[in-house]
Amino acid sequence: MTQVADRIPALPAEEHERRQRRARSPVPALWDLLDEVKDPEIPVISLWELGVLQDIEQRGDTVVVTITPTYSGCPAMTVMAEDIVAALQAAGYSQVLVENRLSPAWSTTWMTPAAQDKLRAWGIAPPGCGSGAVAAAVSCPRCGSQDVRELSEFGSTACKALYQCNSCAEPFDHFKPI
Amino acid sequence: MNSSNTREALMQYAVRLGDDALILGHRLSEWCSNAPFLEEDLALTNVALDYIGRARMFYGYAAELSGDGRSEDSFAYLRDCREFTNLLLHELPRGDFAFTMARQYLVDQYALAFMEALLQSADAQLAGIAAKAVKESRYHLRRSRDWMLRLGDGTEESQRRLQAAVDELWGYTHELFELDDLERELVAAGVAVDSEALKPAWEAAVRATLDEANISVPADDWSVRGGRQGNHTEYLGHLLSELQFMQRAYPGLEW
């Protein structure tokens, strides 16, 4: 039994809880509504798929949205909060409050497999399901080759590193596993 | 300590950590469009952003604890030199690329251990900030350590410049591991990091890196301190004049 458990990557407990919060939410329509809010820099994945959207609650007349920042200084976080407010206001919810939750710290292991596929199709090598030191093999999003090299630990944004494919020469971003 | 004293001490501690992050973040940001090549420009400014983000979280918490209407901007833009409490190592001018990377390596090696310890803080907000920071510092350290080896084991010139940088920085590192009364009280309360206890592991790791990089470990024959008490080098005022210019010239200005 333990062998099987070792081989199958388990869903992190906090990600399981996040999915439960959505599944049991008394306001499912609001979650569906915010599925339309995408990462401002990667407009193919939603804040939910990215793992940033943590909770939505209705407190009286106010909709309270809880998000977890990806990186401490990520400038996109401000845009994400503004986009959330705009999407809810456009749907008639005038009172919106966006709260930041730091802990548990955001991890790329919260990204769904579907989101990882979308990243690859968008030209970004996805982080895989490991984190930190246990980085998965990086493969070229264009030709699939694993013969790649890291050009820089940092790419166009804090969450990405810059790679180049040795097989097809494509330079590409790799979403860093953290 | 009664509860209002504890709150005040906690606020000051958050400001100290915010000051460390803001001042180093600003120094790194000075490389924007000045780095030796494009990838380094991106890397240095990304690390700068991580630090400035960290500063915002610490200042935001300090503002909340102050309860007197101050905001994170009040801490960053409306205090003068003597009110800043960052460790001196963070404020030294960026120097050449070797100096910047040597400082970054010494700080990263410290910051990773510091943030890992802060994860255990009895204060949930500090622990939460540490949880974010620790992941970033792991990346920072991997990169800065790599640069130590590349520069130290590179050309005659890069080795010479890196050795000069380490020699100049060394006397500022002792302050990283010194506690004053405020921090001792917070350590006893399980809130602050006992930075004295971090020194042996830090020194062992740094010595190993310097050895591998063909850099000799400087003698411990001089040291400078005073940042936590607001006694700074001449460089901080110049940094603040640039950092704070807009808010001083146009108070309350927003983007």
Using CA atoms of B237, B78, B183, B56 in order, give the dihedral in degrees to the nearest 10. Answer: -110
Taking contacts as CB-CB distances below 8 angstroms, the residues of chain B near A152 are 39-40, 42-43
B47 contacts A72? CB cut-off 8 A = no
Quick one: DSSP state of residue A38? B
Report pLDDT digits (tens) over B2-54: 677 889 999 999 999 999 999 999 999 999 999 998 889 999 999 999 999 99
How many angstroms from the chain centroid is the CA of residue B123? 21
Residue among A77, A149, A153, A162 with most chain B CBs within 10 A, to mutate: A153
Report pLDDT digits (tens) over B183-225: 999 999 999 999 999 999 999 999 999 999 999 999 999 999 9
CA distance B168 to chain A (A): 27
DSSP SS3 for A57: strand
Taking contacts as CB-CB distances below 8 angstroms, the residues of chain A near B134 are 105
A64 pairs with which residues across the strands? Answer: A57, A97
A132 contacts B138? CB cut-off 8 A = yes
Residue B180 CB neighbours (<10 A): 10
Predicted pLDDT of residue B253: 87
B40 contacts A152? CB cut-off 8 A = yes
A174 touches chain B (CB under 8 A): no
Q: Of B1 and B72, which is predicted with more confidence?
A: B72
Taking contacts as CB-CB distances below 8 angstroms, the residues of chain B near A66 are none
Which residues of chain B from 150 to 209 reach within 8 Å of chain A, CB to CB?
A: none
Q: Of B47 and A112, which is predicted with more confidence?
A: B47
ipTM tops the 0.90 cut: no
A105 touches chain B (CB under 8 A): yes
Round to whole Å and give the CA distance between B28 and B40: 11
Q: Is the pTM of this model over 0.80?
A: yes
Backbone angles phi, psi at A157, to 5 degrees: -140, 170
Report pLDDT digits (tens) over A127-176: 876 655 445 689 999 999 999 999 888 887 888 899 999 999 999 999 98
B50 contacts A102? CB cut-off 8 A = no
Round to whole Å and give the CA distance between B169 and A5: 48
Do B21 and B85 contact (CB within 8 A), yes or no? no
A105 contacts B132? CB cut-off 8 A = yes
Whether residue A2 has pLDDT greater than 50: no
Smallest CA–CA distance from B141 into chain A, residue: A153
Round to whole Å and give the CA distance between B59 and B129: 11
Predicted pLDDT of residue A113: 84
A74 touches chain B (CB under 8 A): yes
Taking contacts as CB-CB distances below 8 angstroms, the residues of chain B near A71 are 49-50, 53, 132, 136
If you average pLDDT over every residue of chain B, what do you get?
95
Taking contacts as CB-CB distances below 8 angstroms, the residues of chain A near B143 are 153-154
CA distance A34 to chain B (A): 25
B42 contacts A156? CB cut-off 8 A = yes
Burial-class residue B241 by CB neighbours within 10 Å (0-12, 13-18, 19+): exposed
Report pLDDT digits (tens) over A10-58: 788 899 999 999 999 999 999 999 999 999 988 999 999 999 999 999 9
